[in-house]
Chain A
Amino acid sequence: MKDLYENTFQSVEDIQQQFEEHNYICNSQIATCAYIAYNLQKPIMVEGPAGVGKTELAKTTAEILGVPLVRLQCYEGLDESKALYEWKYGKQLLYTQLLKDKLSEVLDGATGLRESMAKLESHDDLFFSEGFLEPRPLYRALQEEHGCVLLIDEIDKSDQQFEAFLLEILAEFQVSIPELGTLGAKIKPLVFLTSNNTREMSDALKRRCLHLHIDFPDEKLERRILNSRVPNLSENLRHEVVSFVQQIRELDIKKVPSISETIDWAKTLLLLHTEHLESDVVKETLNVILKFEEDIEAVSGQISSFIKKAHKE
């Protein structure tokens, strides 16, 4: 297995091409970002609406580079013990119970408290060694033999404390564990942080990252994405589907359909052997792209005009 930084990203075009080979169609901005992040070993903060391929970007990068993807899903209340490491308290407790009998052997006839303590201290701090350490994603990412892609997903859902804690890792790629000392990365992981912008991230965190904003793709790019993800879809239908979805995105609705929903819809239509968009089929499958009753109602009235326009294009 090759190390993370042995597989080189030669140029921006090279990256774009490699992504395409792995069915991830991206614009030059995303490729440039990956190129810089890879070569300067900087984390990337990816922002944008849900379903535009933020997580997918990290997954594909890991695939191309041939390294594992370590994922840390953030949520409110996430703390060090869930993200970095935890001591296996249960195991420690069990071992102390089991080894109780061995204690007299260890102490070996020591008399008095002072002597017993000295004897105990002469043994290693076995209960706080790596055997009792429960590694969590961040710890695992630093310990990966060949490097990895670390995906810190939905960072905006975590607390401010956790964000501050991340700073050390993102800047130095090392963490301090009081019982074991400071632990550096074997090979610096390539870090992706994703955010849906539910809250503003701190300047300190932003400063350490490249800031990439992925928006909904334009019609041409979306058709290419659809072509690579659902290759069996006929060209006509692909045009119609993309045009229809693009028209919905212009409406003022609760949740506009994202790329992943377009793909799902295309797959659904394929399954139903649809050749052209027709109002009946669209009406029945509208719940694949729209997730709120109000949105479906809002769009229902305009289906025929949307289809008409989609057919024209």
Chain B
Amino acid sequence: MQQTLEDFFKVVRSAGVNISVADSIETSKTVELVGYGDRGILRDALALSLAKTTEEKEKLYECFEQFFAFDAFQKTSLLKPQPGPTDKTEQQAGQPPAGEQQAVEQEQAPAEYKGDLELAKMLLRNDKAELAQTMKKAARKANITDIWLFTQKGINTQKIMNEMGLRELNKEITSLGKGDCPAERALSGQLRTGQKYLFQEVRNFVEQQLSMFGKTASQTIHEEFLKSSRLSNIEKRDFEVMVKIVQKMAKRLSSMHSKKRKRKDRGQLDFRKTLRSNVAFDGVMFNIFWKSKVIEKPRILALCDISPSVSSYSRFLLLFLYSLSDVLDRIDTCVFTNSLIQVNDIFDQYPVQQAVEKITNDFGMGGSDYGNTLLDLKNDYMDKIDNKTTVIILGDARNNNLAPQTEVMKLLYQRAKRVIWLTPEMESFWGTGDSEMLKYKAYCNIVKECNTITHLEQMVDTILKVSAQTA
């Protein structure tokens, strides 16, 4: 039974519930305690010790119903069970050859099977329980639990059927069909029908197993692919998946960085706090308090180029930043093509995804003019930038051969805590053609190539880390 339990863990894992080794040991103990006697209790016991949230519980119940369902070979076979030797009637000669029409075949009394192939006997007896049992055993031998892609369906079906004795069955069918005796030919036809039935059932079983064991595998592959592909190449139909990936990443980052609020400065006594706390003890210092520094959440000003060439990158950066609201103090967002537009109010009004969509649709026209944008920044926003602001600029710095206004960048660099430039272009392209990247680079703390979602994650992680260290 341990093997069954382990298979069940596998199913639950593939449904997205994390089960550690310790969990599985504990659960085995639990199952040992409650036993397999009562289905309801077993189900509850598994849910209690494996699932850690209500959602996980629901997933687990679903898996349980699927895994412990016994519906193999429940469909009626096309075969009628072969009568036992006692009530066997005399066969009639002169019937049409077997294997032509099932109806005719069934009417004709086939010969009694005299071979010793178990599978053939089971099929002729129409022994569903035995067939199911044999199939499960064969499936285990064929390592069906390792199935995780739909392309493996055929091979697995074949493996299981071979394990059950398909080859021998085929031989039997051929040898019986070859003979002259019509009753034997009828038997051969009957076995062939049985074989088809067997194939259907095994195929169904494999499909079920695939849906249990391979559920997340194909999703994971797809997600991994999306994570490493260039953001500009991601198609619209994948946006939903991308949003989920971004949210997952953001959740991880925020749980990593949200814990650190204060850093103890051991060695520096906080006199006021210590005295206040020890007044009750006559000033004898029982409780000692050290000074601590509050780690400030980073304040971010994001400037995103939303001209057609870069807009898909901006979309995901914004999605990322706004999913991180727990760990960021404030996000101000401006977008630009040739002039700067503040879009905070759009983010206030709409949910993040919708807001991003609206912004790219409403403002994303025309070629970029970094120089003019920087001048706008200088005139309208420079007073909002102080030594606590991290400025993130996302763009390819392709200025269409207009004036780059690097002096504004210099000013920005002097005022802000950090200036980070993210560009979708590879380093070897910086400064080629109309790119002003090399000029701007001088006034940035970090310039990074950033064109996949994984790059974005690394970047945001760095921003959060650095802000915690320099507090």
Distance in Å: Cβ of A271 to nearest Cβ of chain B: 37
Per the bound structure, the CA–CA distance linking A33 and B51 in Å amounts to 13
B-side contacts of A203, CB under 8 Å: 52
Known pairs A32-B44, A33-B48, A36-B45; A211 contacts B34 (CB<8 A): no
A-side contacts of B282, CB under 8 Å: 93
- CB contacts under 8 Å to A, within B253-293, are 259, 280-282, 284, 286
- CB contacts under 8 Å to A, within B43-67, are 44-45, 47-49, 51-54, 57
Distance in Å: Cβ of B119 to nearest Cβ of chain A: 41
Q: Are A211's CB and B51's CB within 8 A?
A: yes
Known pairs A28-B40, A32-B44, A210-B49; A89 contacts B29 (CB<8 A): no
A-side contacts of B259, CB under 8 Å: 160
Per the bound structure, the CA–CA distance linking A23 and B299 in Å amounts to 56
Q: Mark A79-116, 1 if CB is under 8 A from B, else 0.
A: 00000000101100100000000000000000000000
Chain B residue, CB-CB nearest to A96: B284
Distance in Å: Cβ of A32 to nearest Cβ of chain B: 4
CB of A308 within 8 Å of the partner chain: no
Known pairs A89-B286, A93-B284, A207-B23; A32 contacts B45 (CB<8 A): yes
Known pairs A35-B34, A36-B34; A211 contacts B48 (CB<8 A): yes
- Of A29, A33, A36, A42, most buried by chain B (CB within 10 Å of CB) is A36
Per the bound structure, the CA–CA distance linking A212 and B45 in Å amounts to 10
Q: Are A90's CB and B280's CB within 8 A?
A: yes
Per the bound structure, the CA–CA distance linking A35 and B281 in Å amounts to 48
Chain B residue, CB-CB nearest to A12: B41
Per the bound structure, the CA–CA distance linking A12 and B44 in Å amounts to 11
Q: Are B52's CB and A36's CB within 8 A?
A: no
- CB contacts under 8 Å to B, within A197-252, are 203, 206-207, 210-213
Per a CB cutoff under 8 Å, which of A28, A39, A211 touches B33?
A39
Chain B residue, CB-CB nearest to A29: B44
Distance in Å: Cβ of A166 to nearest Cβ of chain B: 16
CB of B445 within 8 Å of the partner chain: no
A-side contacts of B34, CB under 8 Å: 12, 32, 35-36
Known pairs A207-B20, A213-B54; A89 contacts B281 (CB<8 A): yes
Distance in Å: Cβ of B37 to nearest Cβ of chain A: 10
CB of A40 within 8 Å of the partner chain: yes
Q: Are B52's CB and A40's CB within 8 A?
A: no
Per the bound structure, the CA–CA distance linking A87 and B20 in Å amounts to 40
Distance in Å: Cβ of A90 to nearest Cβ of chain B: 7
Q: Are B41's CB and A28's CB within 8 A?
A: yes
Q: Are B33's CB and A93's CB within 8 A?
A: no
A-side contacts of B52, CB under 8 Å: 203, 206-207, 211
A-side contacts of B284, CB under 8 Å: 93
User: Binding site of B, secondary structure by majority: helix, strand, loop or mixed?
Assistant: helix
Per the bound structure, the CA–CA distance linking A203 and B47 in Å amounts to 16
Chain A residue, CB-CB nearest to B255: A200
Distance in Å: Cβ of A174 to nearest Cβ of chain B: 19
A-side contacts of B22, CB under 8 Å: 207
A-side contacts of B158, CB under 8 Å: none
CB of B82 within 8 Å of the partner chain: no
A-side contacts of B211, CB under 8 Å: none
Distance in Å: Cβ of A44 to nearest Cβ of chain B: 8
CB of B134 within 8 Å of the partner chain: no
CB of B30 within 8 Å of the partner chain: yes
Distance in Å: Cβ of B16 to nearest Cβ of chain A: 15
Per the bound structure, the CA–CA distance linking A89 and B282 in Å amounts to 10
Distance in Å: Cβ of B35 to nearest Cβ of chain A: 10
Distance in Å: Cβ of B432 to nearest Cβ of chain A: 48
Q: Are A210's CB and B48's CB within 8 A?
A: yes
Per a CB cutoff under 8 Å, which of A28, A32, A207, A211 touches B53?
A211
Per a CB cutoff under 8 Å, which of A40, A87, A213 touches B30?
A40
Per the bound structure, the CA–CA distance linking A300 and B378 in Å amounts to 58
Q: Are B41's CB and A93's CB within 8 A?
A: no
Q: Mark A23-61, 1 if CB is under 8 A from B, else 0.
A: 000001100110110011010000100000000000000
A-side contacts of B51, CB under 8 Å: 211
- CB contacts under 8 Å to A, within B348-400, are none
- CB contacts under 8 Å to A, within B1-53, are 20, 22-23, 26, 29-30, 33-34, 38, 40-41, 44-45, 47-49, 51-53
Known pairs A28-B44, A212-B48, A213-B57; A36 contacts B33 (CB<8 A): yes
B-side contacts of A29, CB under 8 Å: 44, 47-48
Per the bound structure, the CA–CA distance linking A47 and B41 in Å amounts to 20
Per the bound structure, the CA–CA distance linking A210 and B51 in Å amounts to 8
Per the bound structure, the CA–CA distance linking A303 and B51 in Å amounts to 40
B-side contacts of A90, CB under 8 Å: 280-281
Q: Are A36's CB and B286's CB within 8 A?
A: no
A-side contacts of B281, CB under 8 Å: 89-90, 93
Chain B residue, CB-CB nearest to A33: B48
A-side contacts of B48, CB under 8 Å: 29, 32-33, 36, 210-212
- Where the two chains meet, the residues of A that have a C-beta atom closer than 8 Å to any C-beta of B are 12, 28-29, 32-33, 35-36, 39-40, 42, 47, 87, 89-90, 93, 160, 203, 206-207, 210-213
Instruction: Give 6 CB contacts A-B under 8 Å.
Output: A35-B33, A89-B281, A207-B22, A211-B51, A211-B52, A213-B57
What 8 additional pairs, Cβ within 8 angstroms, besides A36-B48, A40-B30? A29-B48, A32-B44, A36-B45, A40-B29, A42-B26, A89-B281, A210-B48, A211-B49
Closest 3 CB pairs of A and B: A206-B52, A32-B44, A210-B48
